[in-house]
A = this chain, B = another copy of it.
Amino acid sequence: MFKIRSLVTALALAGSTSVVMAQALPTKAPAPADNPTTAAKVALGQMLYHDPRLSSSGTVSCASCHNTMLGGEDNRAGSVGVGGQVGGRSAPTVWNAAFNKVQFWDGRAASLEEQAAGPVTNPIEMGMKSWDDVVVRLKALEGYQKAFAKAFGKNSISKDTATKAIAAYERTLITPNSDYDKYVKGSKSAMTEQQVRGMKKAVELGCVGCHSGPAFNGPGTFQKFPVISNGYFEAQYDFKKDKGLAEVTGKKADEHMWKVPTLRNIALTAPYFHNGRVKSLDEAVKLMAKLQLGKDLSKAEIADIVAFLGALTGEFPKQTMPVLPVSSGTTFN
C-alpha cells in the first residue's frame, strides 16, 4: 500500500496537469473464458435481472435494489427484500460492477457469476428456498425455455446458465464518457477548474493509493476501513459493528477488510459506506480523509474533491425494456 501510494503521490507532485495513471473507462468489460459474452446471453440475462418471479413473493428482482433506471442501486442504507425485510448493508451499484475484482461489500464472490447466485436464495433478499425451486419456475415458462435454448442450447435451464446470463448482462452495464473520461482523452475543458483542483487534491492526499485505475477501485482489492480508530465518528456511524470479510472467513486478519468500491457514479449512490449511515458525499469525503489517511480537510478542499467526484458520473446506455416470459396461472402469496 505505502509503496504504491508514495509512487502515485510522487508522480502527482512532479507537476503533471493530467491525473496520475489516468485511464478512461473501457466501453467493454472482459468476460471469463467459460462465459463469453453473446447477444443471446445478454438478452436472457436482462430478462432474469428484471424478473421479480426470481423471488419467493414475486415482488423483488435484482433491479429492485440495483436499479438500472437509476444509479444502479436504491439510495437506501439497507435494501428492502421479501416481506419488507431490511438488509444490513447498502446495495452496491451494478453500473461498472464488471470492473470490480471481487463482488459484494466483503468481496466474498470472485465473479459476477458467483455474485448473481447469492441474493436469490438469501432469506432476507429474494427469499427463494433453493436454486432448484428457481429452475422449476423458469422451466415452467415457455419464453425462458426458448431464451435459454438460444443462449446455451436446448434444455439448458440451470443455476449455472441463469447466473452466467445475468453476469453477461451485467458486463454490458458500463457508463463511459464521464467528464473525467473526456478530460483524460484530451478535452481539457471537460472538467471545471474546481474539478481539476479536486482531482489534484485527491492524488496529493493519497486517495488514489486505493482508488485508481479506470474504475477507481484499485490497484489493490481489499482495504481496511476504518484504518484509524476514532471514537467520535464510531459513536456516530457504527462502522465497526460489521466486521466485513471476517464475517465470512472468521479470521482476525480479515476484520474490517472491505472490497475497495468504485468511485464511478458515486455522486448518485448516496447513502455511503457499507452500512449506508453517511448521507452526504461531503461527509463521506471528510470521513475518508480522517479515517483512512489521518487528514483533516478544509471545507474548500472537501468541496473541490466532491466536485471532482461529480466528474465521474458517466453516460447510461439506452436499453430496451425486457418483455418477460408470461405464463398462465402464475400466482404468489
Contact = CB atoms under 8 A, between A and B. Distances in A.
A16 interface: no
Interface in A296-333: 310, 313, 316, 318-324, 326-333
A319 B69 CA distance: 13
Nearest to A309: B328
B333 A76 contact: yes
A80 B59 contact: yes
Given A270-B331, A320-B320, A329-B280, A69 B50 contact: yes
A270 B330 contact: yes
A293 B153 CA distance: 49
Given A57-B80, A58-B74, A321-B319, A310 B328 contact: yes
A254 to B, nearest CB: 29
A179 B333 CA distance: 31
A268 interface: yes
Contacts of A327: 268
Nearest to A71: B326
B320 A318 contact: yes
Contacts of A267: 328
Contact of A83 (B58, B59, B67, B84): B84
Contacts of A318: 320-321, 323
A271 B328 CA distance: 10
A74 B58 CA distance: 7
A286 to B, nearest CB: 15
Given A59-B64, A75-B331, A331-B75, A69 B324 contact: yes
Contact of A319 (B76, B313, B320, B331): B320
Interface string A229-272: 00000000000000000000000000000000000000110110
A326 B178 CA distance: 14
Nearest to A266: B328
B84 A58 contact: no
A332 B75 contact: yes
Interface string A47-70: 000111100011100001001111
Contacts of A50: 69
A151 interface: no
B326 A268 contact: yes
A75 B333 CA distance: 9
B70 A324 contact: yes
A85 B57 CA distance: 12
B320 A321 contact: yes
A58 B59 CA distance: 15
A279 B329 CA distance: 7
A80 B64 CA distance: 13
B280 A77 contact: no
22 contacts: A52-B74, A57-B80, A58-B75, A59-B74, A67-B324, A68-B321, A69-B323, A75-B331, A75-B332, A76-B333, A83-B84, A84-B85, A268-B328, A268-B330, A270-B329, A280-B329, A281-B328, A318-B320, A318-B321, A318-B323, A319-B320, A321-B321
A-B interface, 8 closest residue pairs, ranked by CB to CB distance from nearest: A84-B84, A319-B321, A271-B331, A321-B321, A267-B328, A69-B324, A75-B330, A268-B326
